[in-house]
Amino acid sequence: MVNLKDNWLTDGLIDLEYKKYVLLAYLKNVRESFGRVELYPHLSDLVFHYRNLMALQENKSLIYESFPKELSLDNLKMLELNYKKMIEDDAVMQEIESIMEFALPQLKDSMKEGSTIYELVESKCELSPVGVVPLYAQEGYMFITQPPEKETYVYRYQVTVYQSSSEPMRGLQTQLMYTTQYNFSNTYEQMKMTLIRQYTNLPNPAAFLILSKMKFPHVPTLVPVAKRLLVKHLSLTA
């Protein structure tokens, strides 16, 4: 897998043609994954890199912070002087700006492709509660299935709240408990009752079914889309 370092813009040789090669190799790998309808981790990585470049373009002082720095205390002052000289070098800054001007539309196009696939997957998924939903639904179980397959993935979930730069954001921690087969004697309601009997520390859990009408890769696509669907649902009902 070809990954793009967080500090790829300033890591190593600062040369437009070289950085084009690095970026395009990464995006080729992303497109191949999207061609297999595998969304993650590439879609979230693209968003990170795009937002990072936008922030650097708007605030050039951040470029200094993005340069890799050695942690040696003896050389730290000398390194900082060298980085400062590099930042003050008009030729270097012009090359960095050229790289960003090339990279931003490339990243944006790939983001659009990933977003289109995400919207397709989301449109094919239905979320419904299993049984009665308790007042406290920030922890519970999530069932994921893709008919006509009978296999159901049973996850335990917990909503997490973390502070972003602007406002609190919700996430979802999940743990795969097991897989089971859906049938007339093992309905989703029966699966929930089995979980209640097995895991008594959650005696009155919320449970939700995410059913996909199309077949998608489970881990890189369906699970992250299902998690975001559930987070959105819980945010609206909180």
What are 103-135's pLDDT values in tens digits?
999 999 999 999 999 999 999 999 999 999 999
Same domain, 108 and 194: no
Give dist(CA 15, CA 21) in Å, integer.
10
Average model confidence (pLDDT) across the chain: 87
CA pair distance 237, 232, nearest whole angstrom: 9
> Is 11 within the bounds of a domain?
no
Q: 85 φ, ψ to 5°?
A: -60, -40
3-state secondary structure of 72: coil
Q: Which is higher by pLDDT, 162 or 27?
A: 27
Using one digit for the tens of pLDDT, what is the confidence trace for 23-36?
999 999 999 999 99
| Model confidence, pTM | 0.83
Q: What is the pLDDT of residue 76?
A: 47
Phi, psi of 228 (to 5 degrees): -70, -35
* Within-domain flag for 2: no
**75 has a pLDDT exceeding 60:** no
pLDDT at 151 over 60: yes
Q: Left, alpha or beta for 131 (phi > 0: left; psi -120 to 50: alpha)?
A: left
Find the domain containing 204 and state its range.
125-237
What pLDDT does residue 153 have?
A: 98
Q: How many domains does the chain have?
A: 2
Question: Is residue 20 domain-shared with residue 107, that is, in the same domain?
Answer: yes
Q: Residues 48-56: contacts with CB within 8 Å, 24+ apart? A: 48/6, 49/4, 49/8, 49/103, 49/107, 50/104, 50/107, 50/108, 50/111, 52/6, 53/9, 53/100, 53/103, 53/104, 53/107, 54/104, 56/9, 56/100
**Is 77 part of a structural domain of the chain?**
yes
**Boundary (domain end) residue, out of 122, 142, 164:** 122
Token pair in block for residue 111: 């983001």
The answer to whether residue 26 is domain-embedded is yes
pLDDT of residue 71: 41
Per the domain annotation, does 9 fall within a domain?
A: no
What pLDDT score was predicted for residue 164?
60
User: Where among 89, 122, 155 does a domain terminate?
Assistant: 122
Are residues 105 and 180 located together in one domain of the fold? no
Within a domain: residue 84? yes
Select from 160, 161, 141, 163 the least CA-distant residue to 152: 141
Which of 100, 122, 144 is the last residue in one of the domains? 122
